[in-house]
Chains A and B, each alone.
Chain A
Amino acid sequence: MSASGEKQNPAFYALLVALVVMSVGPIALMLATSFKMNVDIYDESISAFFFTPTIRNYETVLCNVLWYAPEHVDYCDPTFGRALGNSLVIAIVSTALTLVIGCMAAYSLVRFKFMGRDTVSITTLMMRMVPPAVLLVPVFGIWTFQFGLDQSYAGIILVYTAMNLPFVIWILQSFIVQVPIQLEEAARMDGANPMQVFFMVVLPIIKPGLAAAAIFTFRIAWNEFLLANALLGRSTRTVPVTIVNSITEYDIDWGVIMATGMLLAVPPILFTFVASRQIITGMTAGAVKG
């Protein structure tokens, strides 16, 4: 860090501005567009950011959730409300499942000595290097023809859990390694059984790790499109799939798509805010002489 008063290179600021525009720009454009009438969107004489705003797009998207019937909506399409519900169920259940399995697996990889432990640890991470697109065809085949899990919540939740587990195990391993072994010994002396040691002593201490892993997992499960598109049916579709499906050959309602996109962004943001409050450093402060 530079000392105060020292002049910064203007190019540095230019780079910063460029990066900010690149990351915030699309979101701002999406936000602006979501408040536009369709006529304004296609009219090149209307500025991107200065126009008469309307909440009609949001009313269209949320029509079956609202307490009133928006008058401009002729037919209320329940797709979005349903998709939002699907997305929430799938993301939350798969995140919970991933964390529960992940923390136990990570704990056993760190604390228990067994043959091939290092191999398991490394191959776990290598699994993560396989792109989901590669898995698409085999998973679709096996899920559909062997287990009949296609179009069901269970099918996609299992896929997401399997997809996220390697990274979660890997991230939690590094947190568990930092838990002093003496704490576990102290808990054992205090009369805790192995499960109690894990749930009452280890888990609370690695909470920051769990939060980080949860944010990561939730975000992936929430945004995933490729597998969801292939594996889910009409009634179990998640929001990303729904958005893409609203682009038809007859009509592209950009305003509604943008409004859906904005609404899609809200839950992960809320979730991240809640979870990131758990990410505090120094969880083990005072535990042992450091």
Chain B
Amino acid sequence: MPKIQLDNLVKRYGNFEVLHGINLEMEENEFTVFVGPSGCGKSTTLRMIAGLESVSDGEIYIDGKPVSGLEPKARDLAMVFQDYALYPHMNVAQNMSFALRLQKAPKSEINAKVKDVAKMLGLTDFLHRKPGELSGGQRQRVAMGRALTRDSSTFLFDEPLSNLDAKLRGQMRAELALMRQKVKKNMIYVTHDQIEAMTLADRIVVMHGGYIQQQGSPEELYKRPVNKFVAGFLGSPPMNFLDAELKDIDGTLCVMGAGFQIALPDGYRSRIPASANGLVTLGIRPSDLTYAPEAEEDQSFDLKVVVSEYIGAQSVLICDCAGQKVEVELKSDTPIALGKQLRFEVNKDAIHLFDRETEAAF
């Protein structure tokens, strides 16, 4: 399987630049997920790799060869579109075999391949139906089947699950993960849903405003986000951000703000650059706070619980910390009284600090 490389990729529409130089290297057989909010350039990047958008500047290399001047068909890529894009006048089997028929593959081979893929996707009973006679989930499966029947080296997915309802989306996500185990190919997947990104990816590429914010394994990005955007984008419920200041109190580095003062572990001091002015944003994930009435004051927050959102096994408490909102995720059976001031201990190793001006992580 080939490596795909993006070298300083730029996209302009007229004078308006939407991608500002994307550099990325995808390893063989890697499941790469581009994730970011709407308009961040993730779909544009994918479409440029596919050959559906022209490259304004920079180069795309597949297996070391520049491909930005090539037609899509010369790039050996298969793509699954956001809104299926099934050929409405062909039945499922014809839809799935379209690419093979264009390649003039022998009929027996086409039939065998279609049968295989249909079996894998549970479409065997629908091969003779037209797309109009299928449900959303089935259509999505046909769209994937159409990509799978081709022996392409790389699969591109453009928000393939975004049109499905929540339950079906979860189901298809699991099927995709399963398919991922069976089909060892390069996969590039675009989504705005961070859960899809976290569950499917070998490598996540977080994009925002036409720039890559950070790339790495899901765990790496979750635990060590490089800036406030990545920290806030990945994780659900999202990370809490509190305005704070760094202060040296009796030789201990503390982060303090309205309503809290937390002593930082020793390791943090060396991470703070000399240029920092002490104004920071403190980031704490909701799951890194635990209800602990007996905790030390310099390791905990005193929060007033405003709302409790019951999800099932977990509940999300929306709390108030001297005017700033803090969310806490904990087990539903924890005894919590609404409207009371309670003490929550923070997992000190999971404290994130961001420069308030540049938003970069320390």
**Which A residues are closer than 8 A to B by beta carbons?**
180, 182-183, 185-193, 196, 200-201, 204-205, 207, 282-289
Residues of chain B within 8 A of A190, CB atoms compared = 73, 78, 98-99, 102, 146, 150
Instruction: Please name the residue on chain B nearest to A185 by beta carbon.
Output: B52
5 CB < 8 A contacts A-B: A188-B51, A188-B52, A188-B73, A205-B89, A286-B139
Residues of chain B within 8 A of A287, CB atoms compared = 84-88, 131
Residues of chain A within 8 A of B102, CB atoms compared = 190-192, 196
Q: Contact: B150 with A285, CB < 8 Å? A: no
**A202 shortest CB reach to chain B, Å:** 10
Residue with the greatest number of chain B CB neighbours at <10 A, chosen from A187, A189, A284, A286: A189
Residues of chain B within 8 A of A185, CB atoms compared = 52, 79, 81, 85
Given known A-B contacts A286-B130, A287-B131, A289-B163, A192 and B87 have beta carbons under 8 A apart: no
In Å, the complex CA distance between A200 and B88 comes to 11
In Å, the complex CA distance between A288 and B142 comes to 12
**A289 shortest CB reach to chain B, Å:** 4
**B13 shortest CB reach to chain A, Å:** 13
- Which single member of A183, A207, A285 contacts B85 (CB below 8 Å)? A183
**Which B residues are closer than 8 A to A by beta carbons?**
50-52, 71-73, 77-79, 81-89, 98-99, 102-103, 130-134, 136, 139, 146, 150, 163
Residues of chain B within 8 A of A289, CB atoms compared = 82-84, 136, 163
Residues of chain B within 8 A of A182, CB atoms compared = 81-83, 85
Residue with the greatest number of chain A CB neighbours at <10 A, chosen from B52, B87, B139: B87
**B164 shortest CB reach to chain A, Å:** 9
In Å, the complex CA distance between A138 and B40 comes to 60
In Å, the complex CA distance between A156 and B165 comes to 58
Instruction: Please name the residue on chain A nearest to B90 by beta carbon.
Output: A204
Given known A-B contacts A185-B52, A191-B102, A288 and B85 have beta carbons under 8 A apart: yes
In Å, the complex CA distance between A185 and B52 comes to 7
In Å, the complex CA distance between A282 and B79 comes to 25
Which 8 pairs, one residue from A and one from B, show the smallest C-beta to C-beta distance?
A: A286-B131, A285-B132, A286-B132, A182-B85, A190-B99, A186-B85, A288-B83, A191-B73
- Which single member of B71, B99, B131 contacts A285 (CB below 8 Å)? B131
Residue with the greatest number of chain B CB neighbours at <10 A, chosen from A185, A204, A284: A185
In Å, the complex CA distance between A253 and B89 comes to 52
Instruction: Please name the residue on chain B nearest to A179 by beta carbon.
Output: B88
What 17 additional pairs, Cβ within 8 angstroms, besides A286-B133, A287-B131? A183-B85, A185-B52, A185-B81, A186-B146, A189-B50, A189-B52, A189-B78, A190-B99, A190-B102, A193-B71, A200-B98, A283-B89, A285-B131, A286-B84, A286-B88, A286-B130, A288-B84
Q: Contact: A193 with B88, CB < 8 Å? A: no
Q: Contact: A183 with B87, CB < 8 Å? A: yes
**A233 shortest CB reach to chain B, Å:** 44
In Å, the complex CA distance between A43 and B268 comes to 117
Residues of chain B within 8 A of A196, CB atoms compared = 102
**B5 shortest CB reach to chain A, Å:** 20
Residues of chain A within 8 A of B134, CB atoms compared = 286
In Å, the complex CA distance between A199 and B91 comes to 17
